[in-house]
């Protein structure tokens, strides 16, 4: 798998994650108690559990709805387990995926720099030395 393909996959999961977070925010707007922290530790624990389950369900639903638009190399619309897996990954939160995407973009930049250096070395070898400014 190339860096470009990996970046595409991570970008897709990031988009699914952001979309599923929007779905969670909509549901939180419908039931305001989900958006407000509770002072009672037991109620707060239940609220957080509901939000985590909601995030997973939203990730799976979002991925299911987008299944026809997923590249075949990632998941075909008929591959339910892959759609489920992508939904679980999407529920991880966009902050996590933003960090991964930034890492992959940096990796891509390193590969470009290595290719440019190899090209410069090839030119230097062909001309008998490094070009002068």
**Model pLDDT for residues 12-23, shown as the tens digit of each residue:** 888 888 888 899
In a domain, 132, yes or no: no
Contacts 24+ apart (CB under 8 A), 79-84: 84/60
Domain range enclosing 93: 3-127
Each residue's pLDDT tens digit, 66-109: 888 887 777 776 778 888 888 888 887 656 666 777 777 788 88
In a domain, 65, yes or no: yes
In a domain, 23, yes or no: yes
Question: Helices 80-90 and 41-65 meet at what angle, rounded to 10?
Answer: 130
Alpha-carbon span 36 to 6, nearest angstrom: 37
11 and 101 Cβ atoms separated by less than 8 Å: yes
In a domain, 91, yes or no: yes
Locus of tokens 């779905």: 23
Number of domains in the chain: 1
Query: pLDDT tier at 44 (50, 70, 90 boundaries)?
Result: very high
101 and 10 Cβ atoms separated by less than 8 Å: yes
In a domain, 133, yes or no: no
In a domain, 45, yes or no: yes
**Which positions ≥6 away from 65 have C-beta within 8 Å?**
none
pLDDT above 90 coverage of the chain, percent: 14
Locus of tokens 């707060």: 44
DSSP 48-117: HHHHHHHHHHHHHHHHHHTGGGS-TTT--TT-HHHHHHHHHHHTT-HHHHHHHHHHHHHHHHHHHHHHHH
pTM: 0.64
């Amino acid at each position: 798998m190339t860096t470009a393909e990996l970046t595409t996959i991570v970008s897709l999961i990031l988009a699914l994650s952001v979309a599923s977070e929007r779905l969670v925010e909509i549901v939180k707007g419908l039931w305001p108690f989900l958006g407000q922290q509770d002072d009672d530790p037991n109620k707060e624990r239940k609220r957080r559990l509901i939000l985590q389950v909601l995030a997973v369900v939203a990730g799976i639903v979002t991925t299911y709805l987008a299944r026809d638009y997923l590249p075949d190399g990632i998941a075909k619309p008929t591959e339910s387990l892959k759609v489920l897996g992508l939904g679980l990954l999407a529920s991880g939160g966009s902050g996590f995926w933003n960090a991964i995407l930034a890492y992959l973009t940096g990796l891509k930049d390193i590969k470009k720099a290595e290719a440019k250096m190899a090209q410069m070395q090839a030119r230097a070898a062909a001309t008998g030395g490094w070009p002068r400014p």
